[in-house]
Structure 1
Amino acid sequence: MGHSAAVWDHRASLELTKDWNGIDQVVLRNPRGASARVSLHGAQVISWRNDRGEELLFTTSKAIFKSPKAMRGGISICFPQFGNCHSLEQHGFARNKIWTIEDDPPPLHPNDSLGKSFVDLLLKPIEEDLKFWPHSFEFRLRVSLSSDGNLILISRIRNINGKPFSFSLAYHTHFSVSDISEVRIEGLETLDYLDNLSQRERFTEQGDALTFESEIDRVYLSSPKCVAVLDHEKKRTYVIRKEGLPDMVVWNPWEKKSKAMADFGDEEYKQMLCVNAAAIEKNITLKPGEEWTGRIELAAVPSSFCCDELEPHLDYF
């Protein structure tokens, strides 16, 4: 895999383990006891726990942990497409590939490693991939856990092709919630959205906040840099800060669709909500040699927090 023992020496908060399929996983820890677990299968974050050991990401109890398919849950990387189109598999191939750990990645902003436990992962296409998507690229992903337990994902995609290519991308994030009917999202009010349950028809959000009482599958356009998911029962707020990702996908399958999915419990829709920072309405186009960066920072904070307090943190992005 190309990583040496020396990589781990200066990142004592990292641990390398294997899952029951023999696929490598990286565990990040911070001094307060928060942790994150990343599988090299798809560079998928499969666990994010706070300093009390509470799991913040949802994974279905019926998850199928079997290559080459991505497991349903956690945070998966949807690239070079989100959804179902072209000749590619749903949500693209990146989440179904084995990534490698990169020993010596090109430098990021100093703040992106300061006081953080992190790992750098790399995906390059193999010959077989080029048959379906004939573009050469390097996809670097840094997964970080900050000293205060925030989870940060930074994607850098470089075109090493001789010609331009276009792609879409989403961080397919499954949050664990106590009861979907007690959850609301703030930050999407007044925005236009495409409704995937109505042939992608365009509507404008009318509510003061987004609440849930039926299936939802929407792409909110030109969304703000900070969106909050409030879980009243847990008195917890998930704060999503993003950069380079204009769209926000909100998805919950509700009862009927849950029963139709083989790898999803019939009642599990009550304990999960997908809120995905994404760039999907307008494709990103890279010329030869160009690089694109997109990032999210996820925080789980007491519900008294509001987005206004968190906006200044985006300065170092």
Structure 2
Amino acid sequence: MGHYAAVWDHTAATEVTKDWNGIEQVVLRNPQGASAQVSLQGGQVTSWRNERGEELLFNSSKSIFKSPKATRGGISACFPQYGNGGSLEQLGFARNRIWIIEDDPPSLFTYDPQGKSFIDLLLKPSEDDLRFWPHGFEFRLRVTLASDGSLSLISRIRNINGKQFSFSFAYHTYFSVSDISEIRIEGLETLDYLDNLCQKDRFTEQGDAITFESEVC
């Protein structure tokens, strides 16, 4: 893949550049000035800014973003496992691999007249991956920046050899917040979770909203 940029009009744009490591990254922009940045290293969203240019994701200043390891921050896709131990990396290997832009060349990038833009990325297992996790798959990731500045990620995992396999998955997301005591997470009532700070004991969420008064993991 070469270095290129694709712009359809003066309202929405998708651009491919390179970071300081020489790794390609995709920048999505909408008409109001919001943007998102996606690195082909791990298919990781490294930046999401609103129309005022304010960064909505956290990236650690102590983390070095250098292949083949993912940086601590942004949004990374954890596959084929998330924190289950065993022979695989704790957060899976997808976040440490180089993805490709699907349907390259960039003429196939898509936007709509309302200013929504998106990029489709694809990951296939390497020979090394298949040695320690012998399952054929295609992992497609679509990152979309809407006209209102909202960001969405949609993942599709395809089994390409017909042999059944199990996996776990997560979007490992770091939000930038000014005051964590003001944060509320709703919609998790009655769901079970494992608490890493309590030897991974299983609990059921009872409250209608989660707030943060101490360390949670």
- Does residue 140 of structure 2 align to residue 140 of structure 1? yes
Q: 1:2-41 residue pairs with structure 2 within 5 A?
A: 8=6, 10=8, 13-41=13-41
What amino acid is the match of 1:30?
N
Match of 1:58 in 2: 58
| Aligned counterparts of 1:17 and 1:174: Cα–Cα separation in 2 | 23
SS, match of residue 181 in structure 2: helix
Paired residues of 2:187 and 2:208 also in contact (CA < 8 A): no
How far did 1:9 drift?
A: 5.5
SS, match of residue 56 in structure 1: coil
Match of 2:184 in 1: 184
Once the two structures are superposed, what CA deviation does each residue of 1:53-89 show, in whole Å capped at 9, x if it has no partner?
Answer: 1101111111211111100000000000001412111
How far did 1:161 drift?
A: 1.4
Match of 2:151 in 1: 151
Q: Which has the higher helix share?
A: 1
Give the length in aligned residue pairs: 209
SS, match of residue 176 in structure 1: coil
SS, match of residue 168 in structure 1: coil
Q: TM-score, structure 1 length as denominator?
A: 0.62
Once the two structures are superposed, what CA deviation does each residue of 1:182-240 show, in whole Å capped at 9, x if it has no partner?
Answer: 222222234332222222222232334211121112xxxxxxxxxxxxxxxxxxxxxxx
Q: Which runs of 5+ in 1 are unaligned?
A: 105-111, 218-317
Q: Structure 1 residues 9 and 33, CA, compared in 2 at 3 Å: closer, same or farther?
A: closer
Tell me the C-alpha RMSD between the 2 structures. 2.2
Once the two structures are superposed, what CA deviation does each residue of 1:95-146 show, in whole Å capped at 9, x if it has no partner?
Answer: 0000001116xxxxxxx96442111111001111100110111111111101
Q: Structure 1 residues 177 and 9, CA, compared in 2 at 3 Å: closer, same or farther?
A: closer
What amino acid is the match of 2:165?
F
Match of 1:166 in 2: 166
| Aligned counterparts of 2:3 and 2:53: Cα–Cα separation in 1 | 30
How far did 1:27 drift?
A: 0.3
| Aligned counterparts of 1:188 and 1:162: Cα–Cα separation in 2 | 34
Q: Structure 1 residues 166 and 208, CA, compared in 2 at 3 Å: closer, same or farther?
A: closer
Which has the larger displacement, 61-70 or 7-16?
A: 7-16
What amino acid is the match of 1:145?
L
Match of 2:125 in 1: 125
| Aligned counterparts of 2:85 and 2:97: Cα–Cα separation in 1 | 19
Q: Which has the higher strand share?
A: 1
Q: Which runs of 5+ in 2 are unaligned?
A: 105-109
Match of 2:107 in 1: none
